[in-house]
Amino acid sequence: MTNTDVLMDNVDRLVASGKAVISGDRSVISSTVQAAIRSGQSSTFYVSREQGIAILRWYWTPRLIAETGLKSVPEQEIAKIEKELDVQVTGQCFSNYLECPNGHTYGAYEFIQQGVGEHGPEFIKGAIAAKNTSIIRVNPSGWEVCRICQMMIITGGHYYSLGDGRYYCCRGNG
């Protein structure tokens, strides 16, 4: 089986499941992601690292960083993620920190913990370790859930960029 056969087999399976595969030059992909962000509709884009970094740089303005409280994830939190969740963190990570109704903190650790519970550890490990792909969650539709008391956090929104922009989110205020 050739690489083209494998690629088309994967494309065919994705399309059969109701997904779409879009190919275009950099400006088309960038414009499509930006339009999705502005629309407020939820989608996920799997783009080249180069495209992912370009969109990340366009989206994260100094104003938005200040408004969301995005900051570098501390080394001790990364160590906790790696030790307790068995997820190797590659590269720089950013997160904002939310407070649940009972006063608990929700940040990068809790987000990855929730992701492991919802999607399985292999998906999360693969998303953060991807060498050639950036996964951009646009206007994520789920709620953050406090891992301590299980309360939904309905104010604000969790923002993150994991593994040097390998996996990050953008919401319709970019």
Per-residue pLDDT of the chain (174 residues; tens, 9 = 90+): 776 766 788 778 888 888 788 888 888 999 999 999 999 899 999 999 999 999 999 999 999 999 999 999 999 999 999 999 999 988 899 999 999 999 999 999 999 999 999 889 999 888 888 889 999 999 988 788 898 999 999 877 899 999 888 899 998 854
Q: What is the pLDDT, as a whole number, of residue 174? A: 44
Q: Domain extents for the chain? A: 33-170
Q: Which helix (H) or strand (E) holds 144?
A: strand 144-145
- pLDDT reported for residue 81: 95
pTM of the model: 0.87
What confidence score (pLDDT) does residue 15 get? 80
Amino acid 128: pLDDT: 85
Residue 107 contacts residue 78 (beta carbons within 8 Å): no
